[in-house]
Amino acid sequence: MTVLDRPTQRAEASPRERSRAALAAGLVLVAGILLVVCFFSITLGSRGVGVPTIWRAFADYDPDDASQTVIRELRVPRTLIGLFAGAALGVSGVILQGVTRNPLADPGIMGINAGAATCIVFAIMVLGAQDVSTYVWFAFLGAGLATVSVYGIASLGREGATPVKLALAGAAVTAILTSVTSAIVMTNVEALNELRFWQVGSLAGRYFPVFWQVVPFLAIGLVVALGAGRALNGLALGEDLALALGQRVRLTRLVMFATVAVLCGAATAACGPIVFLGLIVPHLARMLSGPDHRWLLAYAVLLTPSVLLAADIVGRVAASPGELQVGVVLGVLGAPAFIGLVRYRNLSEL
């Protein structure tokens, strides 16, 4: 080989390679933001702690040190549950928006969280279930029934399950289920005091036993969801084209709805019904990742827990020495965002 035959410079990266590099760099940046939020979730609150205290809490634990006990028994499990539950709700929102092709779909608006909450309250109040590992199955049942009900109601009529009809059916089912939940809870004053924080969505008082009981379901659901990017991309092309490409559309939808039921059921069992998170964050993730669901799911897994934990921190700091439940904070912030989404998006495309 002569000198002229040798390559003198490396070929320039293609636009697709540059795009992938930018997406990967953005994903690393979002992961860094999540780590920072996790750090503040452990350190901030009514009792502030520093890095040396965190180090000693795990390297040289002293059970007589109140700060170390707070870190190990309260802050760390609270943060871990926020990580997994937030990721589950964000991914569920992406899946619902992809499967239904409805930008207004999320587990809260579609009634899925309300269905899980109703069955959990029924299991606790009527059947006497006390352990998360027991009533989490009722959460799956409630989430699944709510999903089927909303989709069935929205499918009535000539137009079928249009995005607007899905949103309206979800709002109606949510109202009914919320009323049923309130009726069950109001029959027992002691239970009302115990459940009132859980009902609005909360990470407070969530200890390691709760985390270990729900994390297997959340982990399995997240693995299935993250592997569904290509299938969701096929559904985004339309049912006819997806069928032409050889995709089993009905089976894909069934698996996706089952995955959402598992994720939302486990997240609701751990934290209560948290609204707006699965609606707003997928749109934020889509702004960063584009329409490819393989990247969109990855961004949602990191962005959603960041928003959930940040809202939890705001609730702790804003009302110190008490705290606002994370569901209240997200409701206050999410409602204007939802109104803006409906107001500024071209509803003729829905």
Mean pLDDT for the stretch of residues 224-234: 88
d(CA 305, CA 285): 12
Q: What is the pTM of this model?
A: 0.84
Instruction: Give me the mean pLDDT over the 251-260 stretch.
Output: 86
User: What mean pLDDT do residues 198-226 have?
Assistant: 84
CA proximity to 180, closest of 111, 110, 128: 111
Percent of the chain's residues with pLDDT above 70: 86
How many of the other CB atoms lie within 10 Å of CB of 187? 11
CA 14 to chain centre: 35
Q: Rounded to whole angstroms, how far apart are CA atoms 260 and 266?
A: 10
Cα dihedral 342/346/347/350 (nearest 10): -110
If you average pLDDT over residues 147-171, what whole number do you get? 77
- pLDDT band per the 50, 70, 90 thresholds, residue 74: confident
> Do 265 and 135 contact (CB within 8 A), yes or no?
no
pLDDT of residue 178 exceeding 70: yes
Q: Are 326 and 274 in contact (CB under 8 A)?
A: yes
Which tokens in the block code for residue 117?
């909450």
Q: Region 203-214: what's the mean pLDDT?
A: 82
> Residue 197 pLDDT more than 70?
no
Q: How far is Cα 79 from Cα 41, in angstroms, rounded to an integer? A: 6
Per-residue DSSP letter, 227: T
Continuous H helices in the chain: 15-43, 51-59, 66-70, 76-100, 112-125, 132-154, 163-186, 189-199, 208-226, 229-236, 239-244, 249-271, 277-289, 293-318, 326-344
Q: What are phi and psi of 228, to 5 degrees?
A: -100, 10
Residues 6+ apart with CB under 8 A from 235: 98, 99, 101, 242, 247, 249, 252, 253
Both structure tokens of 328: 């209240």
**Closest Cα partner for 219 from 332, 329, 91?**
91
What is the rounded CA–CA span in Å between residue 82 and residue 93? Answer: 16
At 84 the pLDDT is: 93
pLDDT beyond 60 at 10: no
Q: Is the pLDDT of residue 322 over 90?
A: no
- Is the pLDDT reported for residue 289 higher than 60? yes
Residue range 258-287, pLDDT digits in tens: 898 889 888 888 888 887 888 888 988 888
Q: Give the Cβ contact number of residue 136 at 10 Å.
A: 25
Q: Using CA atoms, how far apart are residues 88 and 282, in angstroms rounded to an integer? A: 12
Contact 183, 192 (CB under 8 A): no
Q: Are 264 and 92 in contact (CB under 8 A)?
A: yes
Question: HSE-up of 334 (CA within 13 Å, CB side)?
Answer: 24
Whether residue 290 contacts residue 312, with contact meaning beta carbons closer than 8 Å, is answered with: no
**In the predicted model, what is the mean pLDDT of residues 51-79?**
81
DSSP assigned state of 276: S
Q: What local confidence, expressed as pLDDT, does residue 90 receive?
A: 92
pLDDT at 348: 41
Nearest-angstrom CA–CA distance, 326 and 243: 42
- pLDDT of 3 > 50? The answer is no
Q: What is the arithmetic mean of pLDDT over 150-179?
A: 79
- The average confidence (pLDDT) of the chain is 81
pLDDT band for 341, please (50, 70, 90 cuts). Answer: low
Per-residue confidence band for 12, with pLDDT thresholds at 50, 70 and 90: low
Domains, the chain, ordered by start = 31-349 (1.10.3470.10)
